[in-house]
Structure 1
Amino acid sequence: MKTALVKTDFHFPGQKSVYHGKVRDVYSVGDDLLVMVATDRISAFDVILPEGIPFKGQMLNQIAAKFLDATTDICPNWKLATPDPMVTVGVRCEGFPVEMIVRGYLCGSAWRAYKSGVREICGVKLPEGMRENQRFPEPIITPTTKAEIGEHDQDISKEEILARGLATPEEYALLEKYTLALFKRGSEIAEKRGLILVDTKYEFGKHNGEIYLMDEIHTPDSSRYFYLEGYEDRFAKGEPQKQLSKEFVREWLMDNGFQGKAGQTVPEMTPEIVEGISNRYIELYEHITGETFVKEDTDNLAQRIEKNVTEYLNKR
């Protein structure tokens, strides 16, 4: 099995601080740059799982870079360069403390809530009589707060966001506009690749007073995809959809008695389980990009990243 990068401790030129997230490690350089390293860590139910997934960071970073480049006409984003397959360098933004989750279909946590009788999510009323994996008449936005490590994101409504001053009415209107436009673009690209973009999340921040798209977009960590072929037939029969997303990891955890609750233990992640997850990520990469995934050498990951990023920063 190939090496996975699960921990970083870099010292880049001009580095001021580092933040270790669930999956990404973000290094602040100078006054206006961020170096975001997509590690091979994997999280589910807001818990970082004990084993890394080889090539996951490379895949996430490369998918996000492609989609950031493909949406610059919709809104500005933070990306400046990808000096390494696992790294994006971009401008520092002051992030909004919410994640903009957009759903085109009723599934995942929304379906679990709906099945239990919930008919309103984040202030959005849901119609009666819906079935699992059914398409909404129009995509809905169901924001969450951004939680610290070890805490769960909390659903929040537009009204609560405005009441708590997390965004002004003008800012929130633009966040909604960008979210729906990005989801439409992502859905169109996915359809060309034989996929359905089911739901995803976006993060935004402000740079020089302007709203920018930040972080990753349309990756399997932030999105759920169904296969387009056979969707209608499976839905009509009430069968599970064939999907490419991290949901299969959550389902495996739930099948083995883990949902991130106190006292629960993460099931053993055997080499076979780890390799299976890695292969699923590669499958999604190749479907969504239409390109063959090229595995980079994993023998000296940390040294390679430090060298590539340092060379980029020194040339600026």
Structure 2
Amino acid sequence: MNTTQRALAVGIGAALLQALMLIAFAWPAANIEPRDLPIAVTGPQAAMVADKLAQHSPGAFEITNPADESAARAAIEDRKVYGAIVTGDGAPRVLTASAASPAVAQQLTAIAQQLSGAPAARVEDVVAADSDDPRGSAFGAMVLPLVMSGIAAGVLLSLLIPASGAKLVGLAGFGITGGLLSMAIIQGWMSVVPGNYLVLAAVAGLVSVSVSGTVAGLSSAIGKAGIGIAALTMLLIGNPFSAATSAPELLPQPWGAIGQYLPPGAAASLLRSVAFFDNAAATKPLVILLIWVAAALALLAVGALRNRPTPPAPAPARTRELVTA
């Protein structure tokens, strides 16, 4: 293949990658709608409201019926549901949690207006997003930089640091420093995420190591192709399906669910739980991130064994005899 042919192949390959990125990022955003979205309906007219919702939007909601408003609030605070409809005191009231998903909170507010028949429905935000980021825009935007910087760190470690032990030192340094700096910016400077600074920094550092470690680990285990596999997985699947700006149940399925098992999705869920919900529902995303880190360490170990220098073969017996003579 001459230079012109290689240039044409590179251009076509880049165009195909561009098409994949457009599909990965634009398709989920264009198909946001509730799909088995967990909400609660309580009160004397709960059954009637649930029937209306099922008839108007079949398959949109997964409805539970807590005993009363207090139980519904507890379910929201425990991240078991995204919101609740409370009946029995005039027009239905809607409880939302913009901290869990501003997009869902907006949809539930629209439902409240439809149920009440009034433009100003009774809506209460039980767990609100940060007052400096009421629409959750900054929160959603911070996941992509964590992913991109993690990919960059993994690529640099793969290309510049040959020894697996040294890569571990680099990953540790990146995770600790990156976590502290990122939360100093997000929480200290921009003030868009509440909660304990050190805990949030630890989460950010864990996310950074899970992404960068996967890139470095795959590269160490299978070669440079591992860089591309890991980077494209995080960027083209993990990030657009992370639900950082929406909710997993608003995305096309099964991709919304799959996204929660990749570091970007687990990161968004864990950060929400730690920052806004007093660690409620934090166990699952935490375990997922720890599994990714463990897998990265295992891949680095495989790479270390793969790249271990082979000891020289012993000299043949006849050669040793001649040398001795």
TM range (shorter): under 0.3
Which structure has more relative contact order (CA 8 Å, sep 6+)? It is 1
Give the structure-2-normalised TM-score. 0.26
Higher strand share: 1
State the TM-score, normalizing by the size of structure 1: 0.26
